[in-house]
Structure 1
Amino acid sequence: MPSTQGRTPVTVHITTTAPPLIVDLDGTLLRSDLLLESGMAYVRHKPMSLFKPLSWLLKGKARLKEGLANATNLDVAVLPYDPEVITLIKGEREKGRAIVLATASHHSLAERIAEHLQLFDRVFASDSDRNLSSHKKRDLLVELYGERGFDYVGNSLDDISVWKSARDAYVVNPESGVERRAAAQGNVKQVIKSNPSGLNHWMKALRLHQWMKNALIFVPLLAAHQITNPLLIWQCILGFLLFGLCASSVYLLNDLLDLADDRHHASKRNRPFAAGRLSIKSGLIAFPALLVASFAGALLLLPWQFAGVLVAYYVLTLAYSLSLKRHMAIDVISLAILYTVRIIAGAAATGLELTFWILAFSMFIFLSLALVKRYAELREARKKGHTEKTRGRGYYPDDLEMISSLGASSGYLAVMVLALYIHDQSTNALYAHPQVIWLACPLLLFWITRIWMLTHRGQMHDDPVVFAVRDRISLVVGALFALVFWVAA
């Protein structure tokens, strides 16, 4: 019989003759799957030992669960529990019923969750020798409580056999086809649908609003004054879409790897995967599908150089997600490079040459914006009284002043690059009135100064690029900036 040692059972006075209420964990009490949770945590913290779990799996699923549970340290306090299931449990406990947690997850995780919630009288879970799912769970419950001697709360196809032997069945956020099969057994007492996953959750997970960053792909086209070339415009549009698919794939993978950190963040904890609105399984299917579609389209529809840039972008983003973003300075420089890679992708898609000026300007301006993002996070941490290193980052709240100094300096260096660009010989060849570009310098100075002042005042709550697209003053400055270059041409 699966062990329940290592946890002190909750002591209650049973005052009812009603059979015990047996509650499943993954997908029922928890809007997630602990096997996949621990698997993603393992990949996140031990990427160099990525294939070791395969050796555990060869010894059986129970051994895999034990290996992952022992190799990771999930914070059970922030896992996405289903509030309606907890309400159901508390209501039955108040009636004096015995409540039992029976799960296929590893017993060490199940016991920690029971200890945290303080809702269960007993815990049955998998160990190194037994994977307590489906028929094995049913056989154990029937052995202990008898046929029809318990009520069962579950959600999946594995629970069908358990419901068959239960007195009453409670169906929670059922997987496809589960509700129909459970209903056919005639003992469904309640169906709880508390966690619908819709298109809006996928749009949020794919971060379609972040695709606006891919507009940088059009920069080489604008800089070369080829905006009226229909073929190049079409290539840029294709590049924009394919880069967006690749970026969304990265966002999904990043969210799956960052579940623990996101759940400790004031706003990121509401992301679809962190909140359990979308299943980890669906994310593991979606992110490689988007990646394959992106690279297939790049190889078939655009020059091979564009696919090469996509590879570089993906590798750097993966490195950023796994490691680089946790290292001081390296993280913001990596972000600046990732923005600049989008400009390089535009040049690769169209076959246009990039200039030193574009690359230098991009690095400095986006380094400044990356530092804006870090400043906003650290300011919030300091406001809450934190003094320790921020979770998942390489900075302390006391770094605020240095970050603001570096960020403003980097933004002003971008203005200097723009000023030097005006005097370049190639600029004189491209523009009829290059001296007019000088008007762009005070516009950019104003915008950078304003961004940093708003950040310093605590009014920068979004990604600064997203903020700029939504901010009316930023849009006016952007329009004037474009007008200056149009007049100069």
Structure 2
Amino acid sequence: MSTGAYPLVVDLDGTLIRSDLLIESFLMLIKDNPFNLILVLCWLVKGKAHLKAEIAKRVDIPVDLLPYNQDVLDYLAQEKAKGREIVLATASNERYAKAISDHLTIFDSVFASNDRLNLSGRNKRSALTKRYGERQYSYVGNEQIDLEVWQHTHSAVVVGDSKLTSAAEMLCTIEKHIPLEKPGIRTFVKALRVHQWVKNGLILVPLLTSHNIESIPLIFAGIVAFIAFSLCASSVYLLNDMLDLFDDRQHATKKERPFAKGTLPLLTGLIASPALLLIAIVLCVFLPIEFLAVLAVYYLLTLAYSFKLKRLVMVDVITLASLYTIRILAGAAAVGVTLSFWLLSFSMFLFLSLAIVKRYTELLKLRSKKATKTLGRGYQVQDAELLAPLGGASGYISVLVLALYINSPDVKSLYSQPELMWPACLVMLYWVSRIWIIAHRGNMNDDPIVFALKDMASIICVLLIMAFMIIAV
């Protein structure tokens, strides 16, 4: 009998889709209410099958947005066209399996877990062998546990590397090998959003403004604080991206993020996120306890933002502005500097303006696509008309705070000729206005701070402001 005469049974997680439905549904459950984690632990005591069934009762997965493996889909369609029976067999809950089967309309039958049986490994092998007979079907799989099934199949379609193919070849005939590229260090670095670490350079601002840049111990403390804060931020980035999977998959650029695209396993994120946070906490041993307290506030506020605050109109941008300002507070705590009211006020208004730029830009892009509201946010497209003046006003207020600071008695303790800093206000007025003009034209394609670090005009503005401050000393 030719290979094509045997039913072709395909696995789901990691094979048909580049993800894991149990983890995805778990994340959606936790995102809805973090306290659901207590329920998950209780369900797990009764077994994995019971856990999957309980989650499936409460979570609806948009199956049309899952990261399907196109190479596998193409092969299944090719075999289906030859008249071959195509079967879905998965350890995921039957509710999700049937929804995927209905969406793809390619499967003749479905095997899946229910509230009593977890259809994985030996259980899957037993069910398929009972239905089709010993070595009377072909199986498409992607990991070591599938060797349990291949040991009793006629042939194997291996979705994975050559090592797995060699292992399967010792058990049955290899019908086809579909390579699956393993995530490399570049993929992991992309998930960490290392390019966003430049924002943590704000930690060094208190060291610069306190005029203690020549102190080696303080420079060391600033560098350690930068590393610790960056690791903590990446820990939250990983968690945020895992919680926002389905929103990101509908976004023009965020759909390319590793978790949303399925190029990085969710399990990697679940392990790396707390590991990075732990390393950040360990680094705090070299810093004052106040830095650890600020870091804890940052982490908790970011968690609140990821779970809830990002969906509240205006609360989200105020939270983003606060997170930027907390970076400056962290830098002050690391080097033992008392921050002035002026610096805190300046940073809060400036970063609020930049946070609004970010939302304003998103709304402009949605308007061009004829959409009416943001995904995972509370804004509507028409809100862009109000956000622009609010953001511009906040930016100009930050310049006013700078002007008042230059004219205040406090500045005389640090600068002998503070009046020489006045041109810095003009530079700031130009920069804020330019940022908003770029945003208004729809050309702000990055985080405003990341954009500023790449933008030559912005770099020149920073250098000019620094020059005026040095001259004023």
**TM-score normalised by L of structure 2:** 0.97
| Secondary structure of the structure 1 residue equivalent to 2:139 | strand
Residue of structure 2 aligned with 1:409, choices 385, 393, 410: 393
Residue of structure 2 aligned with 1:160, choices 129, 147, 161: 147
Partner of 2:229: 243
Residue of structure 2 aligned with 1:321, choices 306, 313, 335: 306
- Tell me the CA shift for residue 474 of structure 1: 1.0
Is 2:441 aligned against 1:454?
A: no
Q: Separation in 2 of the partners of 1:195 and 1:20?
A: 27
On the 8 A contact 1:16/1:97 being kept in 2, the answer is no
- Match of 1:247, as an amino acid? A
- Match of 2:280, as an amino acid? S
Residue of structure 2 aligned with 1:279, choices 255, 265, 270: 265
| Secondary structure of the structure 2 residue equivalent to 1:190 | strand
Gaps of 5+ in 1: 1-14
- Match of 1:365, as an amino acid? L
Change (3 A) 1:142 1:479: same
Gaps of 5+ in 2: none
Is 2:465 aligned against 1:478?
A: no
Partner deviation per Cα, 1:422-481 (whole Å, 9 max, x = no partner): 011121121122001110011111111111011111101111111111111111111111
- Between stretches 57-66 and 283-292, larger displacement belongs to 57-66
Partner of 1:6: none
Q: Separation in 2 of the partners of 1:168 and 1:16?
A: 7
- Match of 2:110, as an amino acid? V
- Match of 2:302, as an amino acid? T
Partner deviation per Cα, 1:349-404 (whole Å, 9 max, x = no partner): 111110001100010000000000000111111111122x3111111001011100
Residue of structure 2 aligned with 1:341, choices 304, 315, 326: 326
Q: Separation in 2 of the partners of 1:139 and 1:339?
A: 56
Partner deviation per Cα, 1:258-296 (whole Å, 9 max, x = no partner): 111111111111100010010010100000000000001
Write the mapping of 1:35-434 to structure 2, written as runs, cut at 5 A: 35-173=22-160, 178-298=164-284, 300-387=285-372, 389-434=373-418
Q: Separation in 2 of the partners of 1:408 and 1:57?
A: 51
| Secondary structure of the structure 1 residue equivalent to 2:422 | helix
On the 8 A contact 2:151/2:172 being kept in 1, the answer is no
Partner deviation per Cα, 1:140-188 (whole Å, 9 max, x = no partner): 11111111111100012221110111111111125x9644432332423
- Tell me the CA shift for residue 17 of structure 1: 6.4
- Match of 1:277, as an amino acid? T
Partner deviation per Cα, 1:204-242 (whole Å, 9 max, x = no partner): 100111111111111111111111111111100010011
- Match of 1:264, as an amino acid? Q
Change (3 A) 1:120 1:434: same
Q: Separation in 2 of the partners of 1:314 and 1:94?
A: 53
- Match of 2:325, as an amino acid? T
| Secondary structure of the structure 2 residue equivalent to 1:218 | helix
- Between stretches 141-150 and 185-194, larger displacement belongs to 185-194
- Tell me the CA shift for residue 486 of structure 1: 1.2
Q: Separation in 2 of the partners of 1:282 and 1:180?
A: 25
- Tell me the CA shift for residue 16 of structure 1: 9.6
| Secondary structure of the structure 2 residue equivalent to 1:274 | helix
On the 8 A contact 2:4/2:79 being kept in 1, the answer is no
| Secondary structure of the structure 2 residue equivalent to 1:192 | strand
On the 8 A contact 1:24/1:102 being kept in 2, the answer is yes
Tell me how large the CA RMSD over aligned residues is: 1.4
Aligned length: 472
On the 8 A contact 1:205/1:271 being kept in 2, the answer is yes
On the 8 A contact 1:16/1:95 being kept in 2, the answer is no
On the 8 A contact 1:373/1:463 being kept in 2, the answer is yes
Q: Separation in 2 of the partners of 1:16 and 1:162?
A: 17
Q: Separation in 2 of the partners of 1:468 and 1:157?
A: 47
On the 8 A contact 2:396/2:429 being kept in 1, the answer is yes
Is 2:451 aligned against 1:467?
A: yes
On the 8 A contact 1:16/1:96 being kept in 2, the answer is no
Partner deviation per Cα, 1:63-102 (whole Å, 9 max, x = no partner): 1101111111111111101111111111111211110000
Q: Separation in 2 of the partners of 1:116 and 1:454?
A: 42
| Secondary structure of the structure 2 residue equivalent to 1:84 | helix
On the 8 A contact 2:155/2:172 being kept in 1, the answer is no
On the 8 A contact 2:3/2:175 being kept in 1, the answer is no
- Match of 1:306, as an amino acid? F
On the 8 A contact 1:250/1:318 being kept in 2, the answer is yes
Q: Separation in 2 of the partners of 1:237 and 1:191?
A: 48
On the 8 A contact 2:150/2:172 being kept in 1, the answer is no
On the 8 A contact 1:328/1:394 being kept in 2, the answer is yes
- Match of 2:298, as an amino acid? Y
- Match of 1:71, as an amino acid? R
| Secondary structure of the structure 2 residue equivalent to 1:50 | helix
Q: Separation in 2 of the partners of 1:443 and 1:17?
A: 72
Q: Separation in 2 of the partners of 1:124 and 1:469?
A: 53
On the 8 A contact 2:86/2:106 being kept in 1, the answer is yes
- Match of 1:386, as an amino acid? A
**Identity fraction in percent:** 50
Q: Separation in 2 of the partners of 1:179 and 1:232?
A: 55
| Secondary structure of the structure 2 residue equivalent to 1:245 | helix
| Secondary structure of the structure 2 residue equivalent to 1:458 | coil
